[in-house]
Structure 1
Amino acid sequence: QTASSLASIALQGAHTREELARSQSRLTEIAAAMPGVIFQQVQQQDGLEFSYVAEGAEELLGVDAESLMKDASLLWSRVDERDRCIIDQVLAGQVEGTLSKECWFRLHMPDGSLRWIEAHARRINEGDKQGWAGIFLDATEQYERERRLHRAGLVFDHAQEGIMITDAELRILEVNPAFTRITGYEAEEAVGQTPRILSSGRHGRAFYREMWDQIRSQGHWEGEIWNRRKDGEIYPEWLSITTARDPRSGETQYIGVFTDISRLKQSEEELAHLAHHDMLTGLPNRLMFHLRLDHALARARRDGRQVALLFLDLDRFKNLNDTLGHAFGDQILRQVAARLERVVREQDLVARLGGDEFVILLEDLKDTEASGRVAEALIEVLRQPYTIENREYFLSASIGISHFPADGEQADDLLRAADLALYQAKEEGRSTWRVHQPELTRRVEAFVNMEAALRQALEREELCLYYQPKVDARTRQVIGAEALIRWEHPEQGLIPPNHFLPL
């Protein structure tokens, strides 16, 4: 009986040891399959020591399990200085009384790299065994991911550009503070809405259709767009829309990043204005005038309309400007510009070509006499006194007029004709106006040709002297001779001096 009982007890003990071995094996396999390294620490006289470390310690922690259970400092001595205080608190038992703990620390690996370790542990209290049981995890990727998210959050919150994120149905999911600053919509007002709340109405369906066709085909669109703020103000922005797809869920989101370019557009408009306007008077300059003249002539050709060009020059302005100074002259020119604009119609153009030269472009004239009436009104308004520093000054102006199509089909022809008419007005006493006549052009062309030929005559020695005797009427004796120059032109023959001396 006793022997049988002893055998039974021995058999049960063997089964128990076998079961424990199998359990231990299963636990070891489970520990090996865990993503981290399971450990157990117990309180010793010298502090906490590892009583168990699962496989994988060398790969994760840089020291094998057996060595670690012999000397825990092989791990703790490689903790980065920035995290040493955390580990010192744990090892010194400053967390007594807590049931669980977790911490993150940086660990210097044998190959020189730095790895983030995440530790989770629960307190154990089994008789004389007191300590911790837990797991070490590689948190490097998680830390980097969280750090990227943190940086992205900083960019999102502090970016000067407005950022708007929508789902596939274009419902707004999130906006950043810059979105609120630019549009005036708070986050809670925008979330759940669609970007249509910003629509200015300036773009048609074709614009948005083309935009979304490109986004869906290329995943990106960028360009200038006009939107509306919450207060109703319409403003320009530079918008970039990018498609973002979650690789795990497959969900599509759209990220819109935009910049308010109101100041840029204003600067562009100011530069364009400066490029096309006279800085002194604010009138259109020569460049703007030629653009408007070309357009006016194109419309006149198409519609069969008449156009008049008035070339205006202030009489003796240079003498006044040189005598009283350029600052005085600038004030006069500004007043002249203002008076000219008051006389003409809104659709007409007054431009300053430079100095004291102005041109007035009259479109859609019913008859050519209308330009004369305008010229008379301009001369009259410029005759009125100019008050500068409590003193009155008087000026007059002369005007030459040309008409399309009578005086030319091209802009240069009309300008030349108006200039010739202006020359005639000044020759005939100033403070008046003259309409271009074809005969004037012929005279001027003959004058120019004669001047050019005279220069050649000097080089070719075509000029010669004729001596005319001077006779005393009483004695009938020759008392001298008068030298008279003549031009022996090879084609026109002998040209008398009264034809070329004025040149």
Structure 2
Amino acid sequence: LLVMLGSSYVAIYIYGVNCRLTQTMERNRQAAAALAESEELWRSVVKASPDGICINSLDGTVRQGSDKLFYMLGYDGAEEVVGKNMFSFIEPEHHEKASRSIKEMLAGTFNGTSDYPLIKKDGSRLFVETNGEVLRDKSGNPRELLFIDRDVTGRKEIESRLRSLSVAVEQSPVSVVITDLEGIIQYVNPMFSEITGYSSQEAIGQHTRILNSGLTDRPVFEQLWETMREGRSWTGQFINKRKNGETFWEEAHISPVLDGNGAATQYVAVKLDITKRKKVEERINHLALHDTLTDLPNRSLFSRMLQQSIELAGRHGYRLALMFMDLDHFKTVNDTHGHAVGDLVLKQSAGRMRQSVRASDTVGRIGGDEFVILLPRIAAEADAWHVAEKLRQAMEVPFEVEGCDIRLSASVGIAIYPDHGRQENELSKHADTAMYRAKQQGRNRVLMFEDDMKQHHTG
């Protein structure tokens, strides 16, 4: 009986041991399966990651790496990278920075990311943004270093270009303004402040109307906004106003900033102060249309003004007067006193003529001592006669030039529109004819054109 009982206990014991072994093996199998699943999940994550992943020893030796990491560095596989020290892939001038980051990781004080330029297989440079983590054993002791590297080369190149562009804009010799779609200023460069007198703090948040002088034609702004609404660039000129109230000319090149859908988000204006250029252009145009000695309108400008006045007079039904005036015996002044004195006399003569006519009238010089006067609107012939006599008498006053007392007189011929002609050539011819008849009759007189003068003049 005792033997039988002893055998039963042994059997029960063995059965219990087998059960425990079976349970242990099942737990181990489940753990192995979980581990395999975890490793497969890790491999899937590593494979799918757009970033390069590597695990290094504490001294920096690469132990594992993802295919993406090898691809980023230009290597064909793990055998070319694993076993090398991570510092062999970092540019030497950044070794100290990398060492400092690892020390901070191990000390638990590292926070954030770091940027490093890596050296690819072909020697070219690759910029990465690195996140690091310390892998620890069950006791919490550092075991390995995990790094996740993101290729930011493109971003770095863009940032570099943006920095260059920013420096170029900040140091630009022209003003740059960025506004929202309503024209509210969001950015101005230093040259804008230098030109306008507004600091960036004063300008930002203001509408571009702070520069509006009121002198730029309205159609210019209408064309500008129409072009902007169409998403196209516009070039034009403004007469703007500085902070101190002074006006100035600007040539502006304005373009919309478009988003990925082609919609405008901002406007960028690049503007050049062309005030000096405008003044030079105005001076050149003025010289082209004015007599250099007296600054009176020359033949070309006077002809244009006469044509315009004839058109207006014909449209509104009123009369105008054209006068030809010649200084009598002026050649004697040049011969006796020299051309320098003669020029001074001509300048004084021009000044007296301007003072003898209305602001709406025009005095021009078309030859050596030959002048023309336009009265664009008169009520009667007597009005023209009165002005002509005033001019003639002004020339009788002695000229004091360079210590010389010079006496002159003038002969004046008058033609009236439309009485004596409706075209510029006809009026000019008749005023000239009347002037020559005044000279023939003894000079120093005024004559109104009459029809019978044509026969005698041509004869």
Query: How high is the TM-score relative to the length of structure 1?
Result: 0.77
Matched residues in 1 for 2:55 and 2:436: separation?
Answer: 110
The partner residue of 2:104 within 98, 108, 121 is 98
Provide the residue aligned with 1:27 in structure 2.
42
**Aligned partners of 1:436, 1:303: CA distance in 2, in Å?**
24
Q: Deviations for 1:24-52, whole angstroms, at most 9, x for unmatched residues?
A: 222222222222111122245xxx31122
Listed one character per residue, the Cα deviations across residues 57-83 of structure 1 (whole Å, up to 9, x for unaligned) are: 33111122232113348x826x6xxx4
Structure 1 unaligned spans of 5+ = 447-503
How far does residue 129 in structure 1 lie from its aligned partner after superposition?
5.4
SS at match of 1:401: strand
Aligned amino acid, residue 98 of structure 1:
E
d(CA) in 1 for partners of 2:450 and 2:36?
Answer: 125
Cα distance in 2, alignment partners of residues 222 and 413 from structure 1: 45
How far apart, CA to CA, are the structure 2 residues paired with 1:138 and 1:424? 96
Match of 2:159 among 124, 142, 146: 146
- The 1-side partners of 2:266 and 2:317 are apart by 57
Q: Spell out the pairing of 1:163-178 with structure 2 (5 A cutoff).
A: 163-178=176-191
Give 1:321's aligned residue.
334
Partner of 1:385: 398
Q: For residue 9 of structure 2, what is the aligned residue in structure 1?
A: none
Aligned partner of 1:300 among 313, 329, 341 = 313
* Partner residue in 2 for 1:348: 361
State the distance in 2 between where 1:23 and 1:434 align. 118
Pair 139,369 (structure 1): closer, same or farther in 2 beyond 3 Å: same
Q: Distance in 2 between matches of 1:384 and 1:394?
A: 7
Asked whether the 8 Å contact 2:299–2:365 carries over to 1, the reply is yes
| Stretch deviating more after TM superposition (280-289 or 326-335) | 326-335
Q: In structure 2, do the counterparts of structure 1 residues 243 and 348 end up closer, same or farther at CA, with 3 Å as the change threshold?
A: same
CA contact (8 A) 2:169 2:176 kept: yes
Query: Aligned AA for 1:121?
Result: G
Superposed displacement of residue 337, structure 1: 0.7
Match of 1:368 among 368, 381, 384: 381
Q: 1:334 to 1:210 in 2, by over 3 A?
A: closer
Q: Deviations over 1:180-208 (max 9, x none)?
A: 33333333333333333333345687765
> CA separation in 2, counterparts of 1:362 and 1:249?
59
Which one is further off, 335-344 or 251-260? 251-260
Q: Distance in 1 between matches of 2:131 and 2:248?
A: 54
Counterpart of 1:277? 290
Deviates more, 1:414-423 or 1:234-243: 234-243
2:126 to 115, 137, 142: 115
Corresponding residue of 1:468? none
Change in CA separation of 1:300 and 1:13 when aligned onto 2, cut-off 3 Å: closer
* Distance across 2 between alignment mates of 1:169 and 1:297: 47
Change (3 A) 1:316 1:158: same
Sort the Cα spacing of 1:212 and 1:300 in 2 relative to 1 into closer, same or farther, 3 A. Answer: closer
1:84 is aligned to 2:92 = yes
Match of 2:6 in 1: none
Distance 1:372 1:248, change over 3 A: closer
Gaps of at least 5 residues in structure 2 are 1-12
User: 1:335 deviation in Å?
Assistant: 0.8
**CA distance in 2: counterparts of 1:416 and 1:76, whole angstroms:** 97
**Counterparts in 2 of 1:206 and 1:442: CA distance versus 1, 3 Å:** closer
- Tell me the secondary structure at the aligned position of residue 146 of structure 1: helix
Q: Is the 8 A contact 2:180 2:186 kept in 1?
A: yes
Structure number with greater CO (CA < 8 Å, separation at least 6) is 2
**For structure 1, which segment, 226-235 or 376-385, has the greater mean C-alpha deviation from structure 2 after superposition?**
226-235
**Structure 2 CA distance for partners of 1:303 and 1:56, relative to 1, 3 Å:** closer
- Displacement, 1:138? 1.2
Quick check: 1:107–1:117 contact (8 Å CA) kept in 2?
A: no
Looking at structure 2, the residues matched to 239 and 9 of structure 1 have their Cα atoms a distance apart, in angstroms, of 84
State the match for 1:466 in structure 2: none
The residue that corresponds to 1:40 in the other structure is 55
